[in-house]
Amino acid sequence: MKRLALPLVLTALPFAYLLALSWTPTDAGVQLPLFDDAMISMTYARTLAEGHGLVWYPGAEPVEGFTNLLWTLWMAGLHFALGDGAITSALVTLTGFAALAYNLREQAALGDQLGMSESAIRASLLMTGASFPLAFWTARGMEVGIAAALVTAACVESIRYSRGGGNVLTLALITVALFALRPEMIALTAPVWLFALASAQPRRRVLLVAGGALAAALMAGITLWRYTYYGDVVPNTFYLKATGVDLGVRAMTGLYWFCDTVAFYLAPFLVITLAALPTLPPPSRGHALLFAMTAVTSLYSIWIGGDAWEWSTKFPNRYLSCVLPLFFVLAAAATDQVTARSVRRVDVAVALAIVLGLVAYAVFPSEYRLALPGRFPTRQAAAGGVAFLLAAGLIVTLSWRAHWRSLDWPVLIVAACLAVNVPAIGFAVKSDGFDVAIDRHLTREGLALRRMLPADSSLGVTYAGSICYYSRLRCVDLYGKSDRHIARMPAVDPVFYPGHNKFDLHYSLAIVAPDYVDGLPRDADPASYGYNRVEVGGFPLYRRATPLERAR
């Protein structure tokens, strides 16, 4: 427990800050809005808890406009027990904190399984505890914390099983939980099962195959339920993000944002990890498993085009944050090898070449830069590049003169972790928690609309979370997260912006025709679709001027 005390304190600090920032006094009492995407899941969860099915609002067409089924079901349980309100939102956040605490416990066990020194284990725990991205996404109500805990637990169980311990049923249940949490996480379960299958004793492989068959059957059952209930084998959000966009543009954009993450967050850890990776001693296959898990997640993040908020956060997205604990374990394990002088100068040179190449791609992007949202942060990139080059020069000098042992590498790598988190924390403070102010505004607006508008009114939205949750109106998602037609259409916005570059205003405003509209994509003219600007409860909306027969 002593190992976990300081990391838990470091994790708790951003949770407390973000909870305090989310505190929203209203006429209906204090509210605690979560991240807008999390509030979409909360809306589905409440509808289910109130007996109307797992749909966006009572009577809505069954469309899976969320990706985190297991997390949404947990939210539904909280709503069933407590109803909606600040306590339910707070418990969602506290569940995330409990998941990160469990992850730290499993991470310590992972370090023991890999034979890491005590100082390296503590260093990895401190890096995870100090990781602002991991705490941020979890504290704002996303499923990142539980995903990280399940991924770490899967690695621990796989390594234990390969050494004659562990439980194949536990591994199977973790696998199913990951799939139920986010379907794409099935890709992360492959290295876990392949590692256990390759490393286990022959007589135990039969049990492993049986456990894998059980996990596959349960995941097939979930998929069958999804198809029966929603008419699709994957969530609607998959079509929204992964179709209708040229794969080259999407992947190159994802690569750009990945390199951006390396340049601004992962660079110091990646250098030492890549440098020491070839020299890791037995049980090096365990380290290879962790490397495979981080590599698979990185490739998925690149393939899907990154996340929707990469242009502003400057820290790992939701996908990469799920495997940050594994990455920190690898980096801390590498410090043991550095201290033992087993890292060769050529390994350091190769690692630096790889990382500097990624940084150079982020600083000097290719022509695909034109497909990226926002302006390129030239000054920040230049400052980060210069700082990293100075650090790289120091590492090369120390490597060449073989003064590795004279440094306390676990302390240095924890210091590096604290340093790279400073800009992320600074960004969160300067941006008022990154969209927390918007979430508070949408919460107040939603409550005002609930009070001022008829309960059967419909509302077109671009922010589909807090305003729909608190207004309880029948919402129309203009960006298609809960709309099959828009999710399957080709992207119409020339700027690739995952989940936000598809819309069909003729369909949404002239055919579906909500009574009111709150915000429109880009510079669309609402008057051309028969909407006039009005104020409702002090909030600007667009109201349909003439009745229209709607196709629901």
CB count within 10 Å of CB 389 equals: 13
Asked if residue 265 belongs to a domain, the reply is yes
Which candidate, 520, 481, 490, places its Cα nearest to that of 249?
A: 490
Do residue 474 and residue 400 come from a single domain? no
In a shared domain, residues 385 and 458: no
Per-residue pLDDT, 549: 43
Residue 152, domain member (yes or no): yes
Q: Are residues 496 and 410 in the same domain?
A: no
Predicted TM-score (pTM) of the model is 0.89
110/116 Cα distance (integer angstroms): 9
**Domain range spanning residue 493?**
435-544
Whether residue 197 is found in the same domain as residue 242: yes
Indicate if 470 and 413 belong to the same structural domain.
no
| 303 and 419, same domain (yes or no) | yes
Greatest mean pLDDT among 146-150, 352-356, 362-366? 146-150
Does any domain span residue 27? Answer: yes
Query: Are residues 451 and 377 part of one domain?
Result: no
Does residue 40 lie within any of the structural domains?
Answer: no
Please write the tens of the pLDDT for every residue from 101-160.
999 999 999 999 988 888 889 889 988 999 999 999 999 999 999 999 999 999 999 999
Domain assignment present for 444: yes
Domain C-terminal end among 390, 410, 430: 430
Q: Which secondary-structure segment (H or E) carries 542?
A: strand 539-544
**Among 371, 400, 430, where does a domain finish?**
430
pLDDT at 273 exceeding the cut of 60 = yes
187-198 burial string, b = 16+ CB within 10 Å, else e? ebbebbbebbbe
Clarify whether residues 269 and 246 are in a common domain.
yes
Q: Residue 367 and residue 188: Cα distance in Å, rounded?
A: 32
Residues whose CB falls within 8 Å of the CB of residue 472, separated by 6 or more in sequence, listed in order: 57, 450, 455
Q: Work out how many domains the chain is built from and give that number.
A: 2
pLDDT tens-place string over residues 55-67: 999 999 999 999 9
List C-alpha distances in Å: 28 to 79, 261, 302.
18, 41, 43
Does residue 73 have a pLDDT over 90? Answer: yes
Examine residue 373 and state whether it is found in any structural domain, yes or no: yes
Q: Is it true that the peptide bond before 283 is cis, omega within 30 degrees of 0? A: yes
Answer with the one of 400, 430, 460 that is the final residue of a domain.
Answer: 430
Task: Specify whether 376 is located in the same domain as 471.
Answer: no
Q: Are residues 423 and 477 in the same domain?
A: no
Say whether both 362 and 377 belong to one domain: yes
pLDDT of residue 368: 41
Dihedral angle over CA of 68, 73, 76, 81, nearest 10: -140
Q: Are residues 113 and 28 in the same domain?
A: yes
